Amino acid sequence: HKILTDALAIDKFDGIRQEFEKSQIIYKIVELLDQFANQEAADEKLWRFLLQIFEAVESLEIRNSLLNSEGITASKASGSWQIENCKLKIIDCYFLWNMLSILGYSPELYKCPLCDSKLLPETFFFVPSEGGVVCWQCFSANDLKKSGLWFPIKVDAVKALRVWLSQDWATAGKVSFGQEAQQNLWDISKNYLSFLQENIS
């Protein structure tokens, strides 16, 4: 696409090419884009967003954002890149959810898609087949536990997704949430992506 091509021609992103971990997260992001976006039909918003992510990854000081004291590792396993740097994982998830939103696959995060009631901070369930976050009453009343793919989703994870999908990276990147909510969000992101890959022709 011309916008991305022109941007890359101007800025070679040396900060990405020179650091293994950064180059691997960009590789994963480009793979996702290739899977979901029609290169000819993708609109300008998507390409500008991709450029924003390139800039965010390049400027990231990864040595200051280690997930643990053992260092940063990245390896390709089971066909997907496993990134063990917390900030890089956040950028990865931020890109995934915003890309899906731009392409029309954003889940409902504010109202239960079944009863249309506002989601209050209580027990939630992420049900891809129902279009988003379902309240516990509807989850129980419709016996969704037996109906297919679903995941408990923490209140903090819902809050993070709301910010990610409404703010640019400069703001969204400052969102902080606990390790348990982080893991919950990583798991839901991975499984929602798998659901879409299996159900979108």
pLDDT by residue (tens digit) across 28-64?
A: 888 888 787 765 455 778 888 888 888 888 887 654 4
Distance between CA atoms of 165 and 79, rounded to whole angstroms?
A: 27
> Residue 75 has what pLDDT?
45
Residue 143 scores a pLDDT above 80: yes
Distance between CA atoms of 198 and 9, rounded to whole angstroms?
A: 35
Rounded average pLDDT over 73-98: 66
Beta bridge partners of 83: 74
Highest mean pLDDT among 60-69, 95-104, 192-201: 95-104
**Distance between alpha carbon 181 and the CA centroid of its chain, in Å?**
14
Task: Give SS3 for 126.
Answer: strand
Question: Starting at the edge strand that comes first in sequence, how are the strands of the sheet with 151-153 ordered?
Answer: 132-135, 124-127, 151-153
Residue pair 124/135 in contact (Cβ under 8 Å)? The answer is yes
> Residue 67 has what pLDDT?
39
The band of 82, judged by pLDDT with boundaries at 50, 70 and 90, is: very low
Q: How many helices (H) and strands (E) does the chain have?
A: 9, 5
**What tokens does 34 get?**
């290739």
H or E segment at 75? strand 74-77
Q: How far apart are the first and last CA of the chain?
A: 23
The band of 69, judged by pLDDT with boundaries at 50, 70 and 90, is: very low
The band of 187, judged by pLDDT with boundaries at 50, 70 and 90, is: very high
**Model pTM above 0.85:** no
pLDDT by residue (tens digit) across 127-137?
A: 999 999 999 99
**What tokens does 159 get?**
């809050």
> Residue 51 has what pLDDT?
83
The pair phi, psi for residue 12, each rounded to 5°, is: -80, -5
pLDDT by residue (tens digit) across 86-131?
A: 778 888 899 999 999 998 899 999 999 999 999 988 889 999 999 9
Share of the chain above pLDDT 90, in %: 34
The band of 154, judged by pLDDT with boundaries at 50, 70 and 90, is: very high
> Residue 155 has what pLDDT?
93
Distance between CA atoms of 19 and 118, rounded to whole angstroms?
A: 44
The pair phi, psi for residue 151, each rounded to 5°, is: -145, 135
Angle, in degrees to the nearest 10, between helices 86-102 and 20-36: 20
